[in-house]
Chains A and B, each alone.
Chain A
């Protein structure tokens, strides 16, 4: 057991004074200075000191336990226990009232067999993972690079672009529900008509097109966030690298391609993790657009789980979907993290 001041000390002999003052140190303090370090190390391992022996150490331990106990209790009963239970529920057939019946992996087999319902949800999740990511990545990288190179009004752009990101998914969805409306007040349909692209209103919010209609909305609300993420990372790149590249005759595109991009690669990988998790977990937007009903064409794993459990009382099957969702998030995160650079670039 180490002495109570396990933390590395900054001051030359603060630790020694501390121990002397509190009486935790049995050994006399060696003379201060460079030579005292090994001596102090030896002193820590000195025999005869029991953990919690001194009143101060005991006080610290009691304080530490008091500090972590509420967090541990809450986390255990509200997060850890339900997580473990989810894996158990997934192996049962249960209506939520009568006792659950253990069915092994039947729920997972059912998912594979009734390919139509679960398969559509999975396909929708895949679309919502990849398509918005591509557009958002292109736009936010471009905007971040422009601001980084000094575009006029950069501050205003940052403020404006980021705002939709902090609105609730519900508010954003209601806003776009109104924009997309096929009624007379739908702005987007009015614009399409005005541009002679369509003669009648297009039903953007129809379940069959909903997943595709969500894409502009998702890009609209998240570009600002990713722009700031990339911008923060770009601002860490020393200006000298750009000077050197420009001296070598590199164009601004080449600068971006060969200087900026490799140096913010790690942030891009993090962004990809966000896209993957976001696309897999998506629920709120679809639930608002579909007015709290689950439709076969527009389901994602989350909405399918919700409707199976709370509308059809198939608790076991619904939870099994949640388990699949969880495993997919884990796998996606691990896979994307593999894209990380093997060794950190030095600059």
Chain B
């Protein structure tokens, strides 16, 4: 008897709890979504409308109600504010970085997990210490190191470049997408190698041995047999690095100066500063939406994989 009473009491309490939890979660969902809806709506209003009141339907959505077109802010952001350039740079940097990260980290992880190599445990440990190094620690030394390397490269390539017809050849890793990409690749290695090594260790050896038996070379065994089964690990590493690099700000800020080389986060940050002294907030709202849309599209398309990739990746690191 008493057992049953306790049970119903617990149930009763739990259903109130459940209702409370549901309410809290609905409120939170509103708190997350409303700012985005507000941003999109406001981006469709002219700067003058924006200063009239924070809320309000875009005038351009009323028939004959607006002095400017609905997408005026977007037209300006796209044609006058260099957003196409920022996009192209971000896509280039992230795509090349991801390809290089995979090309470097996957074979290395495979060797650390599977192949015989003297001192490989020490070497792996050496690379994994990189997991503890914050970007801030290497930022400044890397900046001056790049200056030294650029000087050395310029000196070394002076002759050949002159010969190729460059008048006053200067090779610089500063203010260059290639220089930034190399930093991104190197910084992503410890995490990527860590995840991939763990992954290769879980794969059965029998397949590898069968491949060798069938006369595959080491490269073929890796490429044809091990790599295809390691796909899940590769996807995790790709997603984790993609999100991190697409959003990276600090290194881009230090190493890129030219307007024509800025990535999206850099571009958005400089638009923000311009909006403040030109008081062109319509442009800023549109720019913000432009920056968020690709992330949203990728998220909706790959939602399961992204959430899994990020949480699994984070737990491992």
Contact = CB atoms under 8 A, between A and B. Distances in A.
B10 A249 contact: yes
Contact of A142 (B9, B24, B288): B24
Interface stretch (A34-42, A61-69, A101-109): A61-69
A65 B117 contact: yes
Among B13, B112, B137, find the residue whose CB has the most chain A CB atoms closer than 10 A.
B137
Interface stretch (B68-76, B160-168, B203-211, B229-237): B203-211
A197 interface: no
B140 A68 contact: no
Binding site secondary structure of chain A: helix
B285 A74 contact: no
Given A60-B115, A83-B137, A149-B18, A163 B288 contact: no
Contacts of B13: 251-253
B260 to A, nearest CB: 19
Interface stretch (B58-66, B77-85, B151-159, B178-186): B178-186
A302 B254 CA distance: 13
A291 B50 contact: no
A61 B22 contact: no
Interface in A122-177: 139, 142-143, 145-146, 149, 151-153, 156-171, 174-177
A170 B268 contact: yes
B18 A79 contact: no
B202 interface: no
B295 A167 contact: yes
Contact of A329 (B132, B210, B218, B272): B132
A82 interface: yes
Contact of A9 (B183, B209, B222): B209
A311 interface: no
Contact of B31 (A63, A220, A253): A220
9 A-B pairs with the lowest CB-CB distances in the bound complex, closest first: A78-B186, A168-B247, A146-B21, A67-B111, A71-B108, A82-B141, A82-B138, A67-B107, A85-B141
Interface of B: 3, 6-7, 9-10, 13-14, 17-18, 21-22, 24-25, 28-29, 31-33, 35-36, 38-39, 42, 50-55, 103-105, 107-108, 110-112, 114-118, 120, 123, 126-127, 130, 132-145, 182-183, 185-187, 189-190, 193, 204-206, 208-210, 212-213, 217-219, 222, 243, 246-250, 253-254, 264-265, 268-269, 272-273, 276, 281, 284-285, 288, 291-292, 295-296, 299, 303, 306-307, 310-311, 314-315
Interface of A: 2, 4-11, 14-15, 17-18, 21-22, 51, 56-57, 59-61, 63-68, 70-72, 74-75, 77-83, 85-86, 89, 96, 139, 142-143, 145-146, 149, 151-153, 156-171, 174-179, 183-187, 190, 220, 223-225, 228-229, 232, 246, 249-253, 267, 270, 274, 277, 280-281, 283-284, 287-288, 291-292, 301-302, 305-306, 309-310, 315, 318-319, 322-323, 325-326, 329-330, 333
Given A186-B54, A190-B54, 19 more contacts: A2-B116, A11-B206, A63-B222, A64-B117, A72-B123, A75-B190, A78-B186, A85-B144, A89-B141, A143-B24, A146-B25, A151-B18, A157-B28, A171-B291, A174-B268, A185-B42, A283-B136, A291-B276, A315-B140
